[in-house]
Homo-oligomer: A and B are copies of this chain.
Amino acid sequence: MATINKRLKDIKRVIVVVGGKGGVGKSLIATTLSLVLSKRGHSVGLLDLDFHGPSCHTILDAKGVMPTEGEGIIPPEIHGIKLMSVVYYVGEKPLPLRGTEISNVFTELLAITKWGRTDYLIVDAPPGMGEEILDVIRLMKKGEFLIVTTPSNLALKTMSRLVKLLLEIRVPVLGIVENMRITKTKLTEELAKGLDIKYLGYVSFDYNLEGCISNPKKLLKTKFADNVKNILKVV
C-alpha cells in the first residue's frame, strides 16, 4: 500500500473510465481521451485494466515495444502515451484469472510501474463491478469516474447499478457520456438527471471508426474524436 501510494504520488489526476456494461466504448473513449490530452501537451499515462480483453494496445497500434526496467518498470511511450498493459507479457495468449488473482495482478502492476510526473492517468476498466472496480476504489484514492454508456435500455440499466454504487460510497463521478448514439433519444440525459449526475454529452455512432482502430492519427481525425473533444470541454 505504501509503495502504491508512492507510485501514484506524482500523478495529478486519475480518470477511471467505467460503464458496468461491456462493449459501450470504454476502451476507445479512454484511448482517444489519452491521445487528445497528450496532443495538447499534457503528460499522459494509460493503464489497461481489462486483463481478459486488453484493447488499448490494439487501438494505439503498439507493436514491438516493451517496458524498460530500472528500479521498477517504466511503460513505453506510444504516440506520446505511457501505456501499461499485461499484453506486453502475454501477447495474444489467454490469461484466465479468478478474482483474487486479478486483484494480485492489479496490485503488482501498481506497485512496480513507475509513471513519473504525469498530468493524467487514464484507467480503462473492464465491464462489471467486481474485483477490478472494487480495487480501483480501494487502491486509487484519487480516482474520478467517467461513466460511458450507450442509449440502449440494457446498457442503461447496468450502468445505473454501477452509478448507484459509486454515488453511495461517495467517490467522485465526473458524469455520463452517451456513446454510439444513432437516433436522438433523451433516455440517457433523463437517467443522468434521475441519478443526479452530470450528462456530459453524446458521441455519435461513427461508421468509419472501425477503419481507424490501430491508426491513432486517423482516429484523431474522426467525428468520434471531435465528439470526445467536446466532452473534454465539460469535464
- In the bound assembly, the distance between CA atoms of A160 and B91 in angstroms comes to 12
Number of copies of chain A assembled together: 2
User: A94 to B24, Cβ gap below 8 A?
Assistant: no
A131 near B: Cβ within 8 Å? yes
Contacting B at CB under 8 A, from A130-145, are: 130-131, 133-134
A174 at the interface (CB under 8 A from B): no
* Chain A 62-102 interface 0/1 with B at a Cβ cutoff of 8 Å (1 = within): 00000000000000000000000000000011111111111
- CB contact between A134 and one of B21, B96, B103, B133 (< 8 Å): that residue: B96
Distance in Å from the Cβ of A99 to the closest Cβ of chain B? 1
Q: Which of B93, B95, B127 contacts A52 (CB 8 A)?
A: B127
- In the assembled complex, A164 has its CB within 8 A of some CB on chain B: yes
Does A192 interact with chain B (Cβ within 8 Å)? no
A53 adjacent to chain B (CB < 8 Å): yes
- Across the interface, which residues of B come within 8 angstroms of A161, CB to CB? 52-53, 92-95
Closest-CB distance, A155 to chain B (whole angstroms)? 7
- Interface set of A (CB-CB < 8 Å, partner B): 20-24, 27-28, 52-53, 55, 58-59, 92-103, 126-131, 133-134, 150, 152-155, 157-158, 160-162, 164-165, 168, 182, 207, 210, 213-214
